[in-house]
Copies of this chain bind each other. A is one copy, B any other.
Amino acid sequence: MEERTDYCGNITEKYVGKKVSLDGWVQRRRDLGGLVFVDLRDYKGIIQLVFNTDHQDVLDIAETLRSEYVINVIGTVRLRGEGATNDEMTTGKVEVVVEKVEILNKSLTPPFKIKDDIDSSEETKLKYRYLDLRRPEMQKAIRTRAQIKHSVNEYLYENGFIDIETPNLTPSTPEGARDYLVPSRVYPGRFFALPQSPQLFKQLLMVGGFDRYFQLAHCFRDEDLRGDRQPEFTQIDIETSFMNKKEIQTVTEGLIARVMKDEKGIEVKTPFPRIDWDESMARYGSDKPDVRFGMELQDLSEIFKDSEFKVFKGAIDDGGQVKAIVVKGGADKYSRKNIEAYQEYIKRFGAKGLAWTKFNDNELAGGVAKFIKSQEAALVEKLGLENDDLLLFVASNKKIVADSLGYLRKAIAKEQHLYDPNEFAFIWVVNWPLFEYDEGIQRWTAAHHPFTMPNEEDVHYLNDGEDPHKAYAQSYDIVLNGYELGGGSIRIHDYKIQEKMLKALNFTKEKAYEQFGFLLDALQYGCPPHGGLAIGLDRFAMLLSGKDNIRDVIAFPKNSNATEPMTHAPLEVSEQQLDDLGIEVSKKD
């Protein structure tokens, strides 16, 4: 095999007059009788090949070439003729006159064209993933992911972090999401679990004296899949000792700035803004605020607390709120029908209704206008209303108001193009509650995880007789354009605080030791103060690639049923394999 001179996409004017050897895939062939043009493709781009009667044997082969054949050609680069250039391609000024061709492999007709924006089904694309990956947009997305990993590796190395691998065969922890289990053959009846995160192991590394750890860690969660979830995913996992949360955040900002510069050529401004969790919920109705645009939630409870409008006053009397967003110029754009669609949608958050009115000709009109006439002046002043403003109100408890208006804010901003999709707005959401109430399982859980350090002034809330749920935590999330990119915290390094924390989460002492005994032991042997964070690599790559599904930045993802249409995994296995493991299948699909 002749060694290639360069990639197809790199053949520009600098090669004119030179003999080159090129490898690639046939993108298309045009046969003009005695003259054949072939577009040859590799991941760098496409180069035009010319086959003519000067080399009849080569021309004969060219006439047999079909899409996706793999060939090597040797030929001479020349400038294209007048009028035959293509300014949209970097190789568009030249072509290669082929003197020698070798078919390295043939191809059946692919099930879809190897080009961007195809409309094949997701299932077909996954079944023929090796063909899907040839498409330029997929090449780009996977390479973006690799570039992020490289930048992360370099930046963290330069900053004294060392890459340590934690185990993939770990103990199962009943807390949190469902584990993937791995039966043990040596101890039948016992199981490993694939790690949901390296949390405890990285804390043990701190106990072990590795004061700046990182890992591009594979994590596994056996959950029902949504758009941006996969059974396995990768996180940029960081842990440090002897650093406070500000220092950890500063290192992280440097990391993100490096990635943005290397991959997007963007200089992001650091430090990133910080917002308290409470404030983020109040102003954006979300702990993942998209701060590329305003349209913040306005608390009108004070204005409506004595209102005659029962829907509003009732919510306030019940301890809830009345909040609104103002859609500038929205009065004209949003019909009653549009608004009704939103009313329907926000029911999923528990909202009973979406009140609206419009400000036109310097007065409120339509919707709930007639019920809130007496608050009109106060509203105009507080909200700075202008003509053509649309007002959308939700009155309910704090959570429902936040969720509903938080969603509406994002949806309307997207419709109204209120932000530049190429802008990247990072923000820290800090000072989270230590606990959150999980409606699903009807109990208090750790907002991040049970190893999160409370704020110093809140540690006392964990004492007997106090209400632990009042405590805030030394935790922080990094948010990009409304997505949670990652999060972390200072961890508990004090054995006594850890014990209290587990107690507050309803662990008996026995259960705490059963599950976390090794951590509780380790805390008693000179565990340094430590903290860290994890950034979702898949999501980061997705956002930087402009994709809206993490599948597009994973080479071989699972489909939404957690299966793999190419290899058909998972598969049935032999009885012998099950026997060796001491397990039996008790139900089949």
Contact = CB atoms under 8 A, between A and B. Distances in A.
Given A139-B209, A527-B70, A587-B189, A179 B577 contact: yes
A262 to B, nearest CB: 11
Interface in A519-559: 521-529, 554-556, 558
A34 interface: no
B170 A563 contact: no
A16 to B, nearest CB: 23
Interface string A199-229: 0010011011111000000101010000000
Interface in A102-157: 104-108, 110, 128-134, 139, 142-143, 145-146, 149-150, 153-154, 157
Given A131-B525, A572-B189, A142 B210 contact: yes
A163 B186 contact: no
Interface stretch (A378-386, A434-442, A578-586): A578-586
A232 B169 contact: yes
Q: Which of A169, A179, A210 has the most CB of B within 10 A?
A: A169
A164 B146 contact: yes
A191 B573 contact: yes
Nearest to A160: B7
A23 interface: yes
A328 to B, nearest CB: 44
Nearest to A556: B167
A261 interface: no
A341 interface: no
Given A129-B204, A150-B157, A558-B169, A134 B209 contact: yes
Interface of A is mostly: loop
A567 interface: yes
A389 interface: no
A166 interface: yes
Contact of A518 (B232, B567, B583): B567
A448 B182 CA distance: 27
Q: Which of A106, A186, A208, A586 has the most CB of B within 10 A?
A: A208
Nearest to A179: B577
A181 B582 CA distance: 12
A529 B105 contact: yes
Contacts of A529: 1, 70, 104-105
Interface string A162-196: 11111111111010001111111111111111100
A258 interface: no
A42 interface: yes
Contacts of A234: 165
Copies of the protein in its oligomer: 2
Nearest to A162: B146
A23 to B, nearest CB: 4
Contacts of A187: 563, 570, 589
A194 B573 CA distance: 13
A4 interface: yes
A415 interface: no
A417 interface: no
Given A527-B70, A572-B191, A522 B130 contact: yes
A139 B210 contact: yes
Contacts of A186: 561-563
Contacts of A585: 188-189, 582-584
A278 interface: no
Contacts of A558: 167, 169
A181 B180 CA distance: 10
Interface string A508-524: 00000000001001111
A525 B43 contact: no
A244 to B, nearest CB: 5
A3 to B, nearest CB: 7
A574 interface: yes
B526 A68 contact: yes
Contacts of A43: 209-211
Given A181-B581, A208-B134, A580-B178, A142 B164 contact: yes
A74 to B, nearest CB: 13
Interface in A230-266: 231-232, 234, 241-244, 247
Contacts of A521: 128
Interface in A28-82: 42-43, 68-70, 72
B554 A165 contact: yes
Contacts of A555: 164-166, 201, 205, 208
11 contacts: A4-B242, A23-B242, A25-B209, A105-B523, A134-B209, A181-B581, A184-B570, A191-B572, A193-B569, A201-B555, A204-B556
* Those 8 A-B pairs whose CB atoms lie nearest each other, nearest first: A133-B208, A107-B526, A189-B588, A68-B526, A184-B570, A582-B587, A190-B570, A171-B569
Given A1-B242, A172-B573, A583-B586, 20 more contacts: A1-B244, A3-B247, A68-B526, A105-B527, A107-B526, A130-B208, A132-B208, A145-B164, A146-B163, A149-B163, A150-B153, A167-B558, A171-B568, A171-B570, A182-B182, A187-B589, A192-B569, A518-B566, A518-B567, A582-B586
